[in-house]
Each structure stands twice: as structure tokens, then as C-alpha cells.
């Protein structure tokens, strides 16, 4: 084979290898796009309305733009987080678990009730909840157990969903390795929702609806070697 043909073959193989590598990474880098007030750029991939996938961005970083609002995560609506801002410099983003607000509405399919699934259950690789977030802890109790807990413990607030058997309080900073035993209430089921609270690092449990609809911080691990 002539040197010219060898060079052509080598160049072709290099291009194929690069394409395979980009595909394995979840797609190559594309031009930045805007959804609402948020700029979607690498490593994120922009998914237009009515589409379910993108060829841009890394695997797991898909951002769906629906009604000019960016959502991170699965295409199924109830599993998505609304993206409020992305901080590319420190690999973090502000998101809101807005669909949990439906639990507080009487018009929802289940009526007004305290959620039963932790927000963190919807967070998967490559993302994690930042440790600067606070825990908003919701409790499902019997009315008798709830009344006893309010008498016995401080910081518990009634929610609007029932006659005193659903409670909420702020339970310290979020930590993957932390223990929440100190915040458990005997006889009550607990659900954790991360929130940011005020700039002072505090939050008022009475503002649970506002806190739930507001925001918390996710972080991601930058690709190694980049």
C-alpha cells in the first residue's frame, strides 16, 4: 500500500475512533442554547420540546426545554427537576423539585397529602445533592402520635393537608453519610426534601411550601482529565 493510502487509512481510523469516543461520552459538544433564562452548554445537552433525546452533551446531562422552561432528568414529567441556574465554573446547578408542590393541592389525584418519596431518590449519577442544602423533613403520623410529638419535641409544624397528623421541620444540613436518627419521630414515617433556606443557612419550617418550591443545589463531578 502506498504511503498516501496509508495516511488516508490512518486518518479515517482516527476519525472513527473519535466519533466512537464521543458517542460513548454521550455526545459531542454543541453550540450553547438558551431555554428561558438558562444557557445550556457542554457538558449538558439541549433537548428541544417534543424531542426525547439529544446528540449533544454527556450521558445523563440532558436538559429538556418545555414551554421555554428547562428541566433536568427523565422525560417523564414527575421525575424532573426544574433548572434555575447552572454554574459551570464550580460544577453545580440550582434546581427545584417543583412537582412535589402538587402534593399540597387538593386538586391533585390523591388530594392534599405529604409526599412519601425522598427528593434524593430522583438524584442519580453524575449528580449529588450539595451538603450546603438543608433537610426539610415531613412526617406522616397518626393524629395521636403527631400530637404527642408536638408536645415532646420542638421545631415541629403542622401542614395544611390534614387535621394535625402531618408535620414538618428543618433538620440540619444534608449529608450522604449523615445519620438522621436524631430527627426521627417514633410512629411517624419521614420524607426528606433538600432546601437552601436563607443566606444565613437557616430556614423556617412554617414556610415549607415556599421552601419546597424554591431551590436546592446539585453538584456534578467533572470528567477526569478535563
| Grid coordinates given for 213 | 418550591
Taking only the tens place, the pLDDT of each residue in 37-86 is 999 998 998 888 766 666 777 778 889 988 999 998 765 666 678 999 99
Q: In this structure, are strands 33-35 and 38-40 parallel, antiparallel, or unpaired?
A: antiparallel
Distance CA 115, CA 31 (A): 39
Tell me which residue of 132, 122, 127 sits closest to 99, measured CA to CA: 122
| Residue 147 neighbours by CB under 8 Å, 6+ apart | 164
Cβ–Cβ under 8 Å, residues 123 and 114: no
63 or 114, which is more confident: 63
Asked whether residue 81 is domain-assigned, the answer is no
| Confidence label for 176 from pLDDT (cuts 50, 70 and 90) | very low
Write down which residue in 75, 102, 135 finishes a domain.
75
Q: Is the dihedral of CA 173, 179, 185, 187 positive or negative?
A: positive
**Domains in the chain, number:** 2
Taking only the tens place, the pLDDT of each residue in 3-28 is 444 333 334 333 333 333 444 344 55
Asked if residue 130 and residue 27 are part of one domain, the reply reads no
Asked whether residue 6 is domain-assigned, the answer is yes
| Grid coordinates given for 86 | 447552572
Write down which residue in 49, 75, 101 finishes a domain.
75
Asked if residue 191 and residue 129 are part of one domain, the reply reads yes
| Confidence label for 182 from pLDDT (cuts 50, 70 and 90) | confident
Cβ–Cβ under 8 Å, residues 120 and 110: no
Range of the domain at 16: 1-75
Distance CA 117, CA 137 (A): 11
| Confidence label for 189 from pLDDT (cuts 50, 70 and 90) | confident
Asked if residue 101 and residue 62 are part of one domain, the reply reads no
Half-sphere exposure of 187 (CA within 13 A, CB side): 12
In 91-121, which positions are buried (b, 16+ CB within 10 angstroms) versus exposed (e)? ebbbbbbbbbeebbeeeeeeebbbbeebbbe
Write down which residue in 75, 107, 140 finishes a domain.
75
Cβ–Cβ under 8 Å, residues 141 and 165: yes
Asked if residue 50 and residue 161 are part of one domain, the reply reads no
Q: What average pLDDT is seen over the chain?
A: 74
Amino acid at each position: 500500500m502506498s504511503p498516501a493510502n496509508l495516511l488516508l487509512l490512518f486518518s479515517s481510523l482516527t476519525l472513527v475512533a473519535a466519533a466512537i469516543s464521543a458517542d460513548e461520552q454521550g455526545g459531542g459538544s454543541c453550540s450553547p442554547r438558551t431555554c428561558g433564562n438558562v444557557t445550556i452548554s457542554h457538558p449538558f445537552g439541549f433537548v428541544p420540546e417534543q424531542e426525547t433525546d439529544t446528540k449533544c452533551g454527556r450521558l445523563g446531562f440532558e436538559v429538556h426545554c418545555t414551554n421555554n422552561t428547562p428541566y433536568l432528568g427523565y422525560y417523564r414529567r414527575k421525575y424532573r427537576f426544574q433548572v434555575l441556574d447552572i454554574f459551570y465554573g464550580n460544577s453545580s446547578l440550582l434546581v427545584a423539585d417543583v412537582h412535589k408542590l402538587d402534593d399540597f393541592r387538593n386538586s391533585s389525584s390523591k388530594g392534599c397529602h405529604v409526599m412519601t418519596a425522598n427528593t434524593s431518590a430522583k438524584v442519580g449519577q453524575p449528580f449529588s445533592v450539595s451538603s450546603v442544602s438543608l433537610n426539610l423533613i415531613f412526617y406522616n403520623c397518626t393524629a395521636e402520635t403527631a400530637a404527642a410529638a408536638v408536645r415532646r419535641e420542638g421545631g415541629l409544624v403542622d401542614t395544611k393537608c390534614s387535621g394535625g397528623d402531618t408535620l414538618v421541620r428543618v433538620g440540619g444540613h444534608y449529608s450522604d453519610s449523615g445519620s438522621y436518627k436524631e430527627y426521627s419521630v417514633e410512629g411517624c414515617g419521614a420524607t426528606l426534601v433538600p432546601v437552601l433556606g436563607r443566606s444565613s443557612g437557616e430556614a423556617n419550617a412554617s414556610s415549607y411550601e415556599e421552601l419546597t418550591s424554591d431551590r436546592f443545589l446539585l453538584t456534578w463531578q467533572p470528567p477526569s482529565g478535563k
